[in-house]
Amino acid sequence: MKRIMIAGCSLLLAGSAGAQDSGPRIDDIVWPGIDSYCSFMRADHEFVFDDPGTWRWVLFTNYPEADAPDPIETPFMRIDNQLKQLVQTGVERIDGGVVRIYSSHDMEPYVVKLTLLEGAEGYESSAFSGTITVSRNGVSSDVAYKGDCGV
């Protein structure tokens, strides 16, 4: 019996170590009818306006307040199954866009790098694509995205 308990504890510890070695999980936010300023989905996702099951986002922002000059300053993501509001900590200009750097409000914060590559500008919105990289404790995950922001 003692050997079985030791073997079971060893398996549990091995599973925990494996989970720590993988990067943070970037989860979808399922929100049919979302009223957001920016809405970014996975690059391979097919959005159909009339199908609520396709309203799945990896990052979104609220509409800016009247005195807030930057609507992408505090986006939301679902990371490791928790909705996180992020705060911008930096911006780097790159060819064709910018990289925005964010941090979560956790004791051990997630660091998010959002590469915004500019796409076509429409009458009421501008298209963006790029990658979102989420890091914590020396490991990271990323996802390619597409979406738009209002203008």
Q: How do residues 76-133 score in pLDDT, each as one tens digit?
A: 999 999 999 999 999 999 998 999 999 999 999 999 999 999 888 888 889 999 999 9
**pLDDT score of 63:** 82
| pTM for the structure as a whole | 0.81
**pLDDT score of 144:** 98
pLDDT of 16 strictly over 60? no
The candidate with the shortest Cα–Cα distance to 150, out of 39, 66, 54, 73, is 39
Rounded (5°) CA angle 17-57-98: 90
pLDDT tens digit sequence for 34-87: 999 999 999 999 999 999 999 999 999 988 776 766 778 889 999 999 999 999
pLDDT of 20 strictly over 60? no
Distance CA 149, CA 73 (A): 13
Distance CA 134, CA 129 (A): 16
